[in-house]
Structure 1
Amino acid sequence: MVRTPATALLLSLALSTALPLTALAETKVPQSQTEISLGFAPLVKEAAPAVVNIYAKIITQDQGRSPFANDPFFDDFFRQFSKPQPRVQNSLGSGVILSEDGIVVSNYHVVGEASDIRVVTNDRREYEAEVILADQASDLAILRLKGASGLPFLALRNSDEVEVGELTLAIGNPFGVGQTVSSGIISGLARTGTGGGQGFGYYIQTDAPINPGNSGGALIDVNGDLIGINTRILSRSGGSNGIGFAIPANLVREFVRQAREGDTAFRRPWAGMTGQPVDADLADAMGMERVDGMLISELHPQSPFVAAGFEVGDVVLSVDGEPVNSPSEMAFRLSVSGLGGTSEVTRVRNGQMETLEVTLSEAPDEPAAQPIQLSDKTPMPGLVVGQVNPRVITQMQLPLSATGVVVMDPGPYAGRGGVMPGDIVVAVNGEAVETPEDVARLLQDSGRWLQLDLVRQGQRVALRFRL
């Protein structure tokens, strides 16, 4: 986008005490009252056209339930009333244009499951949009505007260079009132555990007010560059309390790269490990001078970190020179690095610091999962089971130590009986199973009664069925 050189200068002068001394050396005192009174206006004029409003329709299944659902007599009469009914939900959010040909980034929870997406630009042009890559765990989605060209866009800043205290603007469409701008500062970095998802939450924190509808909007710096994508707030009331979170621009950059290469789902390197932050007690027990890093507490035998020479008990300090202090930070750093290359990972073992090279690859599908779906002629039609391997562990969020056969989809019959996705099948009618074929064979040979022995979240579960 075209940017006025004086814009960032005037804005940084207005509140120059928030900038580092190195930046102050390059600034100049405003020459007139007009320059001082400009405020954020020039910056907003440049950045706002690249922030869009998003209107999405999401079709969900309304899970109505009959009050006689558990009654053995009336259940058949009222069964039709408990069938799921399609229901249309309207989602409102924001997005940021990242290229002149209409590549837009927003949040997954805004557009990830939408069937109809309409994007309205700052100058009221409307476009149909399609999601070309989405990832629920990271809460990011990349869209392409149909027929778009010559659009204004924001440049992505290296979010690792962002510092606490920097001035920021949050631009979005809160509460559907129209495009709105709020100002603040970066109030925290490397915030983890503030969102749901699957443990990939790693955020920039700001006190710029962020409210419902701001999701997917831009968090920019005083140069008009994109720092992050606004995604959520920390609030008990539902309104902004001065603690908002944005997904760093470096992760957005990797999403855009994969989307342009044709990926429809985000592909991230697999660590194959679990860990915990090093606290004061751990640091003292390990003879570390600083409370820093992440202790590796578990490693999968097929983990690339094992191949690189890491062991349980090692402390990871950094990935490619950037600090790592939690599993979420590790997941973020590997995701930003992308697949196909290597990363320099620094560890501490027995008081000695060492940097090792780790290959960045996806979780392997070895041994092959070989999922089997049971036919309608079996006691549990539609049940899908597969062999546990690193890829299945990642997709189904199983413990690293999981082995054997996992339920990938319980199907209608087993699901009603209490079987859940992610259950590990230990035995069928008292006979141990090791492969999906074992489960299929034993279910086929069942008599009038069937017992499934499962492991669910570390607990042994036994389910009995009358066939």
Structure 2
Amino acid sequence: MNRFLIVMVLAVSALIFHSSFHGGGQAADFPSNQELGARNVALKMTQFDFASGLKQDANGKPNGNGVELMEAGSFGSGFLVDEEGTIVTNYHVARKSFKGEALFQEGSRFEIRNIKVYDLPNDIAILKISGQKSFPSCVLGDSNTVEPRDKVLAVGNPLGMGLNITEGSVSQVVRNDLKQTERINHTATITSGNSGGALYRGNEVIGINAAVMVNPAYGGSTGFFYAIPINKAKKLLADPQFNRLLSLEQIFPPNVELIVNKAQQLDGVTGQIQPARQKGNEVDPGAWKAGFQSLALTDYGFLVESPSENICMVLLDSQNRTKGFARMKHKQYLPLFVSSNYPEQYSIVLLNFNNKPVNFGLKTYRLVW
């Protein structure tokens, strides 16, 4: 009898050990659905964007107003990290937002008017709920201990449609020379609106879901899902200089005049555009062309100064799709604002409809939010 009990104990122990570490991952002691619903939120952000001269005029053609703003909205995800309502999400979710809302699974909604800090290179933003309430918060783990085959949950609230939970495993951990985790690739499916949501390993958040990886040349999905290591956000949260509240409108002012004040000049060139030529009943404009390489999640301004009132500026992406259009309108300068969501090779084309050559100066700016 004693021998039988010993065998049974050993068998059960082996089964528990196998279940806990099956697949090389940690024990899958994940939070309950109720706990996930209380600690993870949908983010509904009200933003502005640059129309980039592509709004249609009365004739259905691009109006060429390169500095016009338009209101835009986006959904993202986030998770609570303290009882005061501090939310971690992606920078690209909060970018150019002047207000927002945090939507909870049980139906409550809280206004977001403030941001504590953002980290553009790592695509992290830390927002603050405007509300006098004590919130439950997530347990933050150590992303440097993450290993391939760890079991994970990707939690988000895409499009504000409710809690979305997908299961998967860590497929790859990218580390730097100091053995610190730089990126976590995983197989838990995420989609539009999952950006900024938590990646759980067991009861701890070990990553911030960023996006489906894209091919920079074409913008298409590669099928890989990746998360930003939570240690990068923990570093921001622990830094005393970021224990502050800044108005979203202060950081991202929806006002052209204030945006211009945030422009930092990158480059300046001068040149000449050849004259237009008449071809039958049509005019073939003279053209000047230059290349421009953008960075991810970065906004740019271009300014052409010329004595002519009859020139245009067109910005084309690597597939020759028009991303911006500015037309001179009774002024001697030609401005254009554009956004770049991922690294892109652009072409700047200046067109001259005059029958004489035109001199110009072109300045390139980066908008520093």
Query: What TM bracket, shorter-length normalisation?
Result: 0.5 to 0.7
Q: Which has the higher contact order (CA 8 A, sep 6+)?
A: 2
How far residue 232 of structure 1 moved from its aligned partner, in angstroms, is: 1.0
Aligned twin of 2:119? 135
53, 71, 83: which one aligns with 1:64:
53
Q: Secondary structure at the match of 1:138?
A: coil
1:156-207 CA deviation, whole Å, 9 max, x = no partner? 1111011111111111023543111111111110179xxxxxxxx9310111
Q: 2:99 aligns with which of 80, 91, 116?
A: 116
Q: Secondary structure of the residue that 1:184 maps to in structure 2?
A: strand
Give 2:32's aligned amino acid. L
- Report the equivalent of 2:83: 100
Question: Within 1, Cα distance between the matches of 2:121 and 2:37?
Answer: 28
Q: Which residue in the other structure is 2:32 paired with?
A: 43
The 5 A counterparts of 1:351-390 are none
Q: Distance in 2 between matches of 1:160 and 1:191?
A: 8
Matches within 5 A, 1:311-330: none
- Are the structure 2 counterparts of residues 205 and 413 from structure 1 closer, same or farther at C-alpha, using a change threshold of 3 Å? same
Report the Cα offset of residue 63 of structure 1: 2.3
Correspondence 1:160 to 2:140: no
Partner SS state of residue 46, structure 2 = strand
Which position in structure 2 is the counterpart of 1:52? 41
1:17 maps to: 22
- Structure 1 residues 218-237: aligned runs within 5 Å: 218-222=198-202, 224-234=203-213
2:337 is aligned to none
User: Which residue of the partner structure matches residue 257 of structure 1?
Assistant: 238
**Retained in 2: the 8 A contact 1:53–1:119?**
yes
Pairwise CA RMSD: 4.6
Aligned partner of 1:245 among 226, 231, 235:
226
Query: 1:52-82: CA deviations, max 9, x gaps?
Result: 00001111231235999xxxxxxxxx99942
Number of aligned residue pairs: give it: 250
Letter in 2 for 1:213: G
Q: Secondary structure at the match of 2:50?
A: strand
Residues 14-52 of structure 1, C-alpha deviations (whole Å, 9 max, x = no match): 5641346xx7xxx9xxxxxxxxxxx97753333331110
Letter in 2 for 1:245: Y
Q: 1:385 to 1:206 in 2, by over 3 A?
A: closer
Distance 2:132 2:214 in 1: 37
User: Do the aligned partners of residues 173 and 65 (structure 1) sit closer, same or farther apart at CA in structure 2, a change above 3 Å counting?
Assistant: closer
Equivalent position amino acid for 1:52 in 2: V
1:171 and 1:179 map into 2 onto residues whose CA distance is 7
Residues 398-437 of structure 1 correspond to what in structure 2 (within 5 A)? 411-413=303-305
Equivalent pair of 1:112/1:134 in contact (CA under 8 Å): no
Distance 1:250 1:229, change over 3 A: same
Q: Distance in 1 between matches of 2:38 and 2:49?
A: 32
Q: Distance between the aligned counterparts of 1:176 and 1:238, measured in 2?
A: 24
Q: Post-superposition shift, 1:89?
A: 1.5
* Aligned residue identity for 1:83: N
Q: 1:82 aligns with which of 53, 64, 86?
A: 64
- 1:211 and 2:191 aligned: yes
Secondary structure of the residue aligned to 2:147 is coil
Once the two structures are superposed, the pairs formed by residues 274-313 of structure 1 within 5 Å of their partners are none
- Confirm or deny: 8 A CA contact 2:49 2:70 kept in the other structure: yes
Contact 2:207 2:228 in 1 (8 A): yes
The structure-2 alpha-carbon separation of the partners of 1:86 and 1:94, relative to structure 1 and needing over 3 Å to count, comes to same
Q: Gapped runs of 5+ residues in structure 1?
A: 1-9, 28-38, 69-77, 193-200, 265-382, 388-396, 399-407, 421-456, 458-462
> Distance in 2 between the 1:11 and 1:260 partners?
44
Cα 1:17–1:260 shift into 2, 3 Å: same
Which residue in 1 is equivalent to 2:165? 181
Identical residues among aligned pairs (%): 24
In 2, the alpha carbon distance for the partners of 1:230 and 1:15 equals: 24
With over 3 angstroms needed to count, the CA separation of the structure-2 counterparts of 1:67 and 1:216, relative to structure 1, is closer
TM-score w.r.t. the length of structure 2 is 0.55
Distance apart, 1:254 and its partner CA: 1.4
TM-score, length-scaled by structure 1? 0.45
